[in-house]
């Protein structure tokens, strides 16, 4: 036989249900715009072979906050032109040496409200530069 909830537990159950519904609804609103004081944008990194060196910068194309990316406007335009797809960044053609000195680039965060998690390894910094343009030029 099932026991029935006591009258004192009913308000607790109702409160718990309300809190769960609020927790589920909160992320949908949070994705629409960056909350004040929270970091928004894409954290970009460039790392040398075996992580012998690494550098990174935050690129925020939404709030237009002054950042540390030296070519922010050009980088944002390239990412926007690719529809936020880092595999579709506009590549330029050029000549690079065949020296193998791998460079791994990554992008993690949000761009225009869409989550980004991407990384790729290039044969050397020259190849990376032609393939990604201003995005990883920092």
Provide the residue-wise pLDDT of the chain in tens; the chain has 138 residues: 544 544 443 433 333 333 333 333 333 333 334 445 556 899 999 999 988 899 999 999 988 675 789 999 999 999 999 999 999 999 999 999 999 999 999 999 999 999 999 999 999 999 999 999 999 999
Q: What is this structure's pTM?
A: 0.70
Predicted local distance difference test score (pLDDT) of residue 65: 72
| Closest C-alpha to 57, from 17, 107, 102 | 107
Class of domain 34-136: alpha beta
Pair of tokens at residue 11: 């308000």
Parse the chain into domains and list their residue ranges: 34-136
Are the CB atoms for 105 and 45 separated by under 8 Å?
Answer: yes
Which residues, at least 6 apart from 65, have a Cβ–Cβ distance to it below 8 Å? none
Write down the pLDDT at residue 1: 52
> Where does residue 124 rank: exposed (0-12), middle (13-18), buried (19+ CB within 10 A)?
middle
């Amino acid at each position: 036989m099932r026991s029935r909830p006591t009258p004192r537990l009913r308000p607790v159950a109702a409160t718990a249900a309300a809190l769960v519904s609020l927790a589920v609804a909160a992320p949908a609103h949070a994705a629409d715009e960056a909350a004040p004081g929270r970091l928004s944008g894409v954290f970009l990194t460039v790392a040398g072979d075996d992580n012998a060196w690494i550098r990174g910068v935050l690129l925020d194309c939404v709030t237009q906050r002054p950042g540390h990316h030296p070519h922010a406007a050009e980088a944002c335009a390239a990412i926007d032109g690719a529809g936020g797809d880092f595999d579709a960044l506009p590549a330029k053609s050029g000549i690079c040496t065949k020296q193998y000195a791998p460079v791994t680039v990554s992008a993690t965060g949000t761009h225009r409200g869409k989550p980004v998690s991407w990384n790729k390894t290039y044969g050397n910094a020259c190849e990376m530069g032609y393939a990604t343009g201003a995005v990883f030029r920092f």
